[in-house]
């Protein structure tokens, strides 16, 4: 692991000269930069120290100090874990000093050192006065940092500054390791800031490996384009390596179809294949500029809010902003998510970003938001929900989901999300949201108490405790229905869903019912849900129907449900429900969804089948002729016997495997369980 230190400050305060004095490296590489004497792009320098083999690698990123190049400054500080703030003695704190410090704090920089440059230009009294004023400013900005006067021209203070940076690096790397170790199994993510063609090697990209490990030979993807590539070579600080660890700034030689300078560049990510899930709609928590030190200034810009119905309503934030996501700069429209006034700090705002183009995003990513004209830093947006959807949650339910997310650990985040999502979450969706390998994601969701179930042909993660609770409530609701309506076949599925919380409908209720059916605790006839031991109490209407239909069910020519409906002049749905009730009362049995037989007839047919099987002649044609029921009905009856395991088919004949199978079925007399919609 290595440490990247951002060297920031106002233009012409000596940042580049200071880096050169520390490392011996000139970070202004562009001819225009050298001609104009200002930094335009971020420059990088590896600090080669004595006895470096025993010390952690340290790199400096010298960011441009002109307000016109703030976007390059934000792109350059990606991956930085500490800051070297440069302030010139003769100028003191200037506008870009303040803006750079604000951006670095918003990006989470906690370790600072201040270099008071050009100390040779003022006398000792002036230096003491300037040092005191800067310390006062640092205190007002809530920045804890030692101020060290230096001169890149004379070398004064450089050794002291180098020693202080070394101590700073040790503390920063310790904090970095502690944070990284909390989330093991992170997949590869490299933030690209530059691409070029190297003679004899092809495309090379440079950037910071913000998570995971990158090895020569790895298969990766360029996100958001999705191009497949292979790592041909790796370098860090000019040294070829077989692998690099997270936190390192490195150069990567890529190969693959369509991989060229036009297809890969600043703003792209090099990621593991499982992380390629670019999205355009992201929920974030915004910390507004000026809020970290309590000096936030409100401005009444034109903006929109995401209301309960999803419509736009007036709020206090701009409708369009510039988003600096990684090294990319893109436009976005924002909608503030309404939160009760007492529920949140006014400077911590929930916002939905609708980006102009898709980006790679992971929970915890910090993005800088600036005004649409690029003249003002608005704040920092921390990615909270990078999964492109909230499963239909709106208004208060949406806010409750975001507020309840525990972002301390992937498992805690998943657990808190599943407790509120109505439809669960796909494992790959969870892995991409946290930038995890699939194996690490699996370990996380298992430890979080989630369960992986098949739904609509794909695996979905559900909250096991919540699923168990829904199962109990479904069973209790059906039991209560039977007690209140003993004559009813069962409760209607839609009515049963209405007895659950809104968040527990759809997938949770369907999964819970499927598991209860599989366990034999509930059954389903059409849209009616009932307990297997429930026998509807016959009503006067049932008696009339039984007297009319039983003679038809005992005929050798069995009638289909449609024929019965026509003969009885009754609606088809009502006939089906009445037949199901008749079956549960022990008068009939369903051999197919379209055909019912009286109990006496099916018992007689079963006896005939057993008798013919004992002589070895139970064939479909012989059975139909012997019983006189016709070939089609004979086949339906024999297939019914196969399903209940009374018989088993062996080529063109059948054998008896369980003489008691029919009686076990008739004791419960269930009708056909239909597939859930």
What are the tokens at 634? 């004979």
By the 8 A CB rule, do 23 and 78 touch?
Answer: no
* DSSP calls for 115-151: EEE-GGGS-HHHHHHHHHHHHHHHHHTT--EEEEE--
CATH of residue 658:
1.10.10.10
Segment 415-434 shows an average pLDDT of: 89
The β-bridge relationship of strands 366-371 and 377-385 is antiparallel
What are the tokens at 492? 């209607």
pLDDT at 366 > cutoff 60: yes
Domain boundary among the residues 363, 391, 419 is at 391
In a domain, 506, yes or no: no
> What's the pLDDT at 304?
42
- Residues 294, 240 within the same domain: no
Segment 394-415 shows an average pLDDT of: 87
- Residues 177, 199 within the same domain: no
In a domain, 514, yes or no: no
What are the tokens at 366? 């910090």
> What's the pLDDT at 674?
29
- Residues 305, 288 within the same domain: yes
- Residues 126, 36 within the same domain: yes
pLDDT at 205 > cutoff 80: yes
- Residues 338, 283 within the same domain: yes
Q: What CA dihedral angle connects 623, 628, 633 and 639, to 10 degrees?
A: -20
The secondary element (H helix, E strand) that includes residue 251 is: strand 249-255
By the 8 A CB rule, do 215 and 242 touch?
Answer: yes
CATH of residue 230:
2.40.30.10
- Residues 127, 197 within the same domain: no
Number of independent structural domains in the chain: 4
Highest mean pLDDT among 91-100, 504-513, 591-600: 91-100
> What's the pLDDT at 328?
93
Domain boundary among the residues 181, 201, 219 is at 181
In a domain, 217, yes or no: yes
Q: What is the DSSP letter of 9?
A: E
pLDDT at 313 > cutoff 80: no
Percent of residues, the chain, with pLDDT higher than 70: 88
In a domain, 333, yes or no: yes
Range of the domain at 294: 279-391
In a domain, 483, yes or no: no
Span 70-120, pLDDT tens digits: 999 999 999 898 999 999 998 999 999 999 999 999 999 989 999 999 999
pLDDT at 209 > cutoff 90: yes
For residue 542, how many C-alpha atoms fall within 13 Å in the half-sphere facing its CB? Answer: 20
- Residues 203, 307 within the same domain: no
pTM: 0.76
Domain boundary among the residues 275, 293, 312 is at 275
Mean pLDDT of all residues belonging to the chain: 85
By the 10 Å C-beta count (0-12 exposed, 13-18 middle, 19+ buried), 102 is classed as buried
In a domain, 213, yes or no: yes
pLDDT at 675 > cutoff 60: no
Measured between its terminal Cα atoms, the distance across the chain in Å is 53
- Residues 20, 145 within the same domain: yes
pLDDT at 299 > cutoff 50: no
Span 157-195, pLDDT tens digits: 999 999 999 888 887 777 766 666 655 678 899 999 999
In a domain, 475, yes or no: no
In a domain, 436, yes or no: no
What are the tokens at 413? 């985040």
CA distance 113 to 83: 7
């Amino acid at each position: 692991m290595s440490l990247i230190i951002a060297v920031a400050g106002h233009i012409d305060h000596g940042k580049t000269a200071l880096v050169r004095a520390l490392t011996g490296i000139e970070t202004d590489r562009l001819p225009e930069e050298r001609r104009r004497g200002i930094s335009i792009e971020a420059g990088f320098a590896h600090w080669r120290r004595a006895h470096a083999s025993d010390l952690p690698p340290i790199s400096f990123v010298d960011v441009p100090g002109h307000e016109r190049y703030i976007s390059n400054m934000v792109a350059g500080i990606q991956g930085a874990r500490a800051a070297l703030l440069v302030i010139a003695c003769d100028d003191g704190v200037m506008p870009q000093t303040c803006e750079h410090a604000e951006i670095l704090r918003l990006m989470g920089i906690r370790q600072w050192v201040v270099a008071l440059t050009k100390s040779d230009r003022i006398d000792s009294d002036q230096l003491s006065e300037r040092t005191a004023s800067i310390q006062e400013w640092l205190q007002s900005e809530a920045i804890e940092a030692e101020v060290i006067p230096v001169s890149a021209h004379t070398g004064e203070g450089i050794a002291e500054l180098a020693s202080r940076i070394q101590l700073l690096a040790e503390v920063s790397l310790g904090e970095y390791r502690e944070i990284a170790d909390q989330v093991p199994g992170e997949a590869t993510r490299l933030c690209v800031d530059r691409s070029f063609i190297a003679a004899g090697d092809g495309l090379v990209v440079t950037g910071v490996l913000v998570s995971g490990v990158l090895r020569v030979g790895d298969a990766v993807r360029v996100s958001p384009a999705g191009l497949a590539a292979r790592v041909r070579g790796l370098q860090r600080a000019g040294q070829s390596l077989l692998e690099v660890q997270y936190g390192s700034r490195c150069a990567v030689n890529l190969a693959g179809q369509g991989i060229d300078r036009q297809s890969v560049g600043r703003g792209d990510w090099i990621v593991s294949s499982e992380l390629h899930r670019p999205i355009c709609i992201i929920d974030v928590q915004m910390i507004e500029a000026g809020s970290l030190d309590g000096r936030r200034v409100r401005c009444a810009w034109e903006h929109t809010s995401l209301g309960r119905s999803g419509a736009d309503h007036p709020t206090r934030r701009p409708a369009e902003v510039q988003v600096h996501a990684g090294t990319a700069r893109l436009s976005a429209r924002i909608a503030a998510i309404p939160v009760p006034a007492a529920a949140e700090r006014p400077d911590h705002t929930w916002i939905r970003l609708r980006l102009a183009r898709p980006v790679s995003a992971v929970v915890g990513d910090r993005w800088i938001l600036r005004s649409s004209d690029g003249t003002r830093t608005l704040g920092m947006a921390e990615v909270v929900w990078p999964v492109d959807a909230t499963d239909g949650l709106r208004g208060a339910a949406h806010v409750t989901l975001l507020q309840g997310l525990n972002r301390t650990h992937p498992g805690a985040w998943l657990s808190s999300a599943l407790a509120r999502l109505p439809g669960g979450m796909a494992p790959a969706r969870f892995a991409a949201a946290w930038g995890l390998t699939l194996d690490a994601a699996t370990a996380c969701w298992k430890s979080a108490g989630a369960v992986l179930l098949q739904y609509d042909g794909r695996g979905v993660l559900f909250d096991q405790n919540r699923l168990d609770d829904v199962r109990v409530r479904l069973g209790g609701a059906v039991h209560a229905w039977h007690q209140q309506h003993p004559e009813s076949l069962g409760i209607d599925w839609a009515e049963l869903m209405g007895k659950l919380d809104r968040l527990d409908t759809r997938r949770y209720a369907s999964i819970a019912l499927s598991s209860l059916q599989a366990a034999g605790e509930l059954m389903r006839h059409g849209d009616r849900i009932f307990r297997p031991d429930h026998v509807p109490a016959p009503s006067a209407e049932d008696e009339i129907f039984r007297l009319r239909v039983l003679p038809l069910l005992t005929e050798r020519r069995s009638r289909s449900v449609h024929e019965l409906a026509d003969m009885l002049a009754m609606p088809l749905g009502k006939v089906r429900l009445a037949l199901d009730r008749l079956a549960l009362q022990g008068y009939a049995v369903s051999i197919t969804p379209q055909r019912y037989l009286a109990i006496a007839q099916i018992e007689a047919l079963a006896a005939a089948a057993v008798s013919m099987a004992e002589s070895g002649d139970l064939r479909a044609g012989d059975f139909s002729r012997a019983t006189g029921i016709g070939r089609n009905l004979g086949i339906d009856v024999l297939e019914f016997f196969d399903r209940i395991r009374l018989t088993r088919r062996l080529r063109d004949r059948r054998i008896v495997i369980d003489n008691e199978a029919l009686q076990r079925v008739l004791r419960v007399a269930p009708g056909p369980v239909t597939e859930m919609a």
